[in-house]
Structure formats: structure tokens, C-alpha cells
Amino acid sequence: MTESDKMAGIDPVRLSLDSKFNFECHPGVKCFTKCCRGINIILTPYDIVLLKNRLQLSSEEFLALYTEPQLLEKTDLPVITLKLLDDDQKSCPFVRDDGCILYTDRPTACRYYPVGTASLMHKEGADDDGFYFFVNEPHCLGFEEKKEWTIREWREDQGVDIRDQVNAEWTDLIVRKRSFPPNIKLTEQSKKMFFLASYNIDKFKEFVFNSTFLKRYDIDSETVEKIRQDEVELLKFGINWLQSILFNNGNFKINNSSPESPDS
């Protein structure tokens, strides 16, 4: 379940990929854009890459202008939420009366709506990757429309299946940390590294290529070239590195010929 869904007090009813529902959102629906106001949207790492590129900003500029940090419940991990406008409705900065000005690059949470998702990875006894539920907000009239979907069709139509693939290891990392006992805390340095690799992709790239990082770790030349040229590959690389330094669960090998620290 997303953090925004929890804050809304939504009680999920488990749905499968083949569960059916009626829904459509368009300017003719009276509540159009109401779901874009008074919201709490957690941005995924891939959301930030797409949005900062769409706005032609660096990741650091985007974070400063359009986001706010929060600590995610039961994880002690920093997450990024969209900074809302200081208007009467607490609107998304990208919504207008006729819709979203960044619609093709809208965040994953917006794409899923009115469907929510909950991950079960690293939950004892889990036999799948998660389940789905409806976000039944009283103002939403989209459920009264005639267009029928399955959850599977909705995910594909909205492009969340692709985004979930990119964010899968990051989501798994958060679920893994949530399962830890409350007394196990991350160091401030670990939180900074999590924030850097998850959200500030441009600064993380500088860290990898302009520090002793590539001397400290044994990274093959093909991977180095991939992450130099492709931000999505760099993002996946960074999340895998986080798995390694936070949970000793990544594919990173220390280069024993170098005494340098990765934090150098």
C-alpha cells in the first residue's frame, strides 16, 4: 500500500490482476482533477528521473523546487513527496483545470489511481509479489463510468507495469527495511547514501565517477559504460549498491587492491 493510501485511512480489499472494475476519468466527469488536490504523493526514483528530464532540470534542482522529504513509517528511510501549492485546495503544482501539464510523465501513484498496490516481498509466508485494492474516495465519480477493466489491463494501459519493473528492487529494499525490528536503525551516513542513490541521480553519478568509488569496487567495464550513458541503468546500479551496503545483499565486490573507502 502506498503511504498516501495509509494516510487516507483506506482499508484494502485484496484484488488480483484479473479482478474487474468500471472506471474512466476524463474532463466530462464532474470531479475531474479533484484527485490532484489535497494529496500526498510519494515519488519513486524513476518518477524523479522522468520528471526532472521533462522539466530540463538537474535532479538536485527538481528536488529543491518540487519536493519535500519525509521519513517513511516503520523504516526510518527518507522518502520524497510532491510539494503541493499553497492554495486553498493544496493542488499538485502540475495540475490545471483541463488536466495535468506533465501527463505523459506523471508519477506512478497518479497512474495507478484509482488502484492501490501493496508489496508482500520479504513478508513471511508471501506467495506472490503483492496485491491490489481500490482507492474509493467519496468525491470520485469515475467508478460510475461504463468502461470496464481488469487490474492487469489497467496497469498496462497506464504504463505502471514498466515503472514497477524499474522500481522493483527499490520497493523490495523498503519492504525489507520495514520488516526489521524497530530498534535496528540506520546510521545518518547510510540514510544519506540511500537518499543520494534513490533520488539525486545526477549527484550520484558524480559520486560514482568523480570519487574513488570505481577504484573501491570491482566493476566491469561494460557496466561502467552502461551507467555512464543510461540513467535508468545508473538508477538500477545505485539501488543494487544500496542493497549491498545496507543489507549485504548486492552483487558488489570490494577491489582488494584498493584501500580507498567508497565514501571518499
Return averaged pLDDT per consecutive 10 residues of the chain, 264 residues in all: 42 84 95 93 96 98 96 85 95 95 96 84 48 89 95 95 91 87 84 95 98 94 97 96 85 68 45
Mark which of 155, 177, 199 sits at the end of a domain: 177
Same domain for 190 and 166, yes or no, is: no
Please, what is the end-to-end C-alpha distance for the chain in angstroms?
37
Same domain for 28 and 90, yes or no, is: yes
Same domain for 112 and 227, yes or no, is: no
The verdict on residue 241 lying in a domain is yes
**Residue 263: which of 216, 197, 209, 198 has the closest Cα?**
216
Mark which of 177, 196, 224 sits at the end of a domain: 177
Residue with cell 464532474: 30
Same domain for 10 and 131, yes or no, is: yes
Same domain for 149 and 194, yes or no, is: no
Same domain for 21 and 91, yes or no, is: yes
The grid coordinates listed for 222 are 561494460
Instruction: Look at residue 129 in the predicted model and tell me its pLDDT.
Output: 57
Contacts of 145 (CB under 8 A, 6+ apart): 22, 23, 24, 25, 29
Instruction: Look at residue 13 in the predicted model and tell me its pLDDT.
Output: 79
Same domain for 135 and 29, yes or no, is: yes
Residue with cell 565517477: 209
How far from the centroid of its chain's Cα atoms is residue 134's Cα?
Answer: 19
The verdict on residue 257 lying in a domain is no
The verdict on residue 88 lying in a domain is yes
The grid coordinates listed for 118 are 501493496
The verdict on residue 68 lying in a domain is yes
In terms of C-beta density within 10 A (0-12 exposed, 13-18 middle, 19 or more buried), how is residue 3 classed?
Answer: middle
Same domain for 192 and 120, yes or no, is: no
Same domain for 70 and 167, yes or no, is: yes
Instruction: Look at residue 122 in the predicted model and tell me its pLDDT.
Output: 41
- Read off the pTM: 0.86
Q: Which residue range(s) make up the domain with 60?
A: 3-177
Same domain for 243 and 173, yes or no, is: no
User: What's the number of domains the chain is made of?
Assistant: 2
